Structure 1
Amino acid sequence: MSEFINNSGKRLEGLFQFSQGILRDEDGTKLLAKYGEILKHITPHDMIAMEEKQLRMGVKPGEIKDKIEKVMNAIYDHLKNYEWNKPQEGHALYYLMQENRELEKILSELKQNLKDRAYKVAKINVSKLLLMEHHYRRKENILFPFLEKIWENCLPLSVMWSLHDDIRMKLKQLLTILSENEGFTPEIFSLIGEVFFLMYGMISKEELIIYPVAMETLTSKELRDFFSNQNRRIEQAAIRSDPEYNTIGHNLHRRK
């Protein structure tokens, strides 16, 4: 319906009511039947504005985190189809996205390790996941403070920061239990599943919501200059297993 395409107010209200229904554990099928047409036109900007509204009305970050994936699942395809100018090589966000591609490779290898019951190799790949700490720190220490200065709706960044902490906690728990065992256990499988859920979910939130809005916020020379100046700090995206590259902090395209 064209009435939703150019009406951000209606889109925001529809998404808000849908999310509120999810938070109240209402029937998802009925909610989709009621709000499905509006959800087809949701943009990343709407998602951030909706979360801002929920947080300002007193919804706790923990409540949002508990239900956010149900909301994301309902609008995933629509956000995926949202057209935006993705960052090119040389842009800070390009390198953050490249880190996600490397993370996906490790997660894929870890999935295969589980199928093969390759415990020792799985432990190595779980250890590699710790290198994403550099990625999350760059977001927290460089990207978020800047976005907080220019975004009207910046409270949702606090939820993402909290999700970073959840990933850290789960990885710590997983590494501990891996060190205490010599083979896979139901608890290990469960924890790895939680790590997959959180890390894949983080990739989606970054690349379907945060980065598109960040790119579309860069409308002034000052904003573009900021990211240009930060490239030396963010343009370091390789997760590599060999000792020379044992941190994320190495340039993907080494300068001579």
Structure 2
Amino acid sequence: MSELINNREYRRKLLKEVIKELHRGKSVAEVKEKFKDVIDGITSTELSAIEQELINEGLDLKEVQRLCDVHAEVFRDSLEQLKKPETIPGHPVHTFKEENRAIEKHINENIKPALEKLKNSGSFEDAQKLLEHINLLMDIDKHYSRKENLLFPYLEKYGITGPPSVM
């Protein structure tokens, strides 16, 4: 009866149990089947808050980090139904993800080929070209500095310290 009176707290308790069972070694399939009703509709905010509560209650941060992908797998279907910040142009998360893609592209399309070319030729010109590409990559520090100074304080303001620690 108490679960009907305080449904939100009961749901949080069950969601915490989902994560605890994963940490006890249960499979993703077992946990999804057992908790399918409570998992439906979970948001990434809820998941982060629950992970934070478990960390506050003594669950080892390294253990949360180790099983982060497993948590995501259990909740993936529900999380994929939500409109995600990274899909909204102008949202900081969207911008960070676009920057991540640009960094990966620069590495794959410029740095890796330039490195291979230098390995084969050993020429001074090829070394200079590689250095130019690496120098462009040095701006990555600005990207991570903005994440640390914009996103993490916002999360920590609301008591969410687990995800920034994991990142």
- Same fold, TM-score > 0.5, yes or no: yes
Residue 119 (structure 1) shift: 7.3
CA distance in 2, matches of 1:28, 1:92: 31
CA gap of 1:120–1:47, structure 2 versus 1, over 3 A, is same
Residue 130 (structure 1) shift: 7.0
Taking CA–CA contacts closer than 8 Å with sequence separation of 6 or more, which of the two structures ends up with the larger relative contact order? 1
The residue type equivalent to 2:162 in the other structure is P
Q: CA deviation digits over 1:47-97, x for unaligned, max 9?
A: 1110111111011211101111111112123212213565433x5444223
Q: CA deviation digits over 1:118-145, x for unaligned, max 9?
A: 9727x97xx6877644322211123212
- The equivalent of 1:188 in structure 2 is none
Taking the TM superposition and a 5 Å limit, the aligned residue runs for 1:54-65 are 54-65=54-65
Secondary structure of the residue aligned to 2:35 is helix
CA distance in 1, matches of 2:32, 2:81: 19
1:55 and 1:155 in contact (8 A); partners too: no
CA gap of 1:30–1:88, structure 2 versus 1, over 3 A, is closer
> Which 10-residue stretch deviates more, 22-31 or 52-61?
22-31
CA distance in 1, matches of 2:83, 2:102: 24
CA gap of 1:106–1:30, structure 2 versus 1, over 3 A, is farther
CA gap of 1:105–1:33, structure 2 versus 1, over 3 A, is same
Taking the TM superposition and a 5 Å limit, the aligned residue runs for 1:189-228 are none
2:28 and 2:73 in contact (8 A); partners too: no
- The equivalent of 1:135 in structure 2 is 143
Q: TM-score, normalised by structure 1?
A: 0.46
CA distance in 2, matches of 1:132, 1:77: 32
Are 2:165 and 1:159 aligned? yes
1:87 and 1:94 in contact (8 A); partners too: yes
- The equivalent of 2:153 in structure 1 is 145
CA gap of 1:142–1:11, structure 2 versus 1, over 3 A, is same
Taking the TM superposition and a 5 Å limit, the aligned residue runs for 1:1-256 are 8-83=8-83, 87-89=88-90, 92-103=92-103, 105=105, 109=108, 120=116, 132-149=140-157, 151=158, 153-160=159-166, 163=167
Number of equivalenced pairs: 144
CA distance in 2, matches of 1:31, 1:16: 12
CA gap of 1:93–1:26, structure 2 versus 1, over 3 A, is closer
CA distance in 1, matches of 2:106, 2:10: 41
| Structure 2: unaligned runs, 5 residues or longer | 120-129
The residue type equivalent to 2:153 in the other structure is P
1:22 and 1:28 in contact (8 A); partners too: yes
Secondary structure of the residue aligned to 1:154 is coil
Identity of aligned residues (%): 24
CA gap of 1:58–1:88, structure 2 versus 1, over 3 A, is same
2:155 and 2:161 in contact (8 A); partners too: no
Runs of 4+ deviating beyond 6 Å: 127-130
| Structure 1: unaligned runs, 5 residues or longer | 164-256
Higher helix share: 2
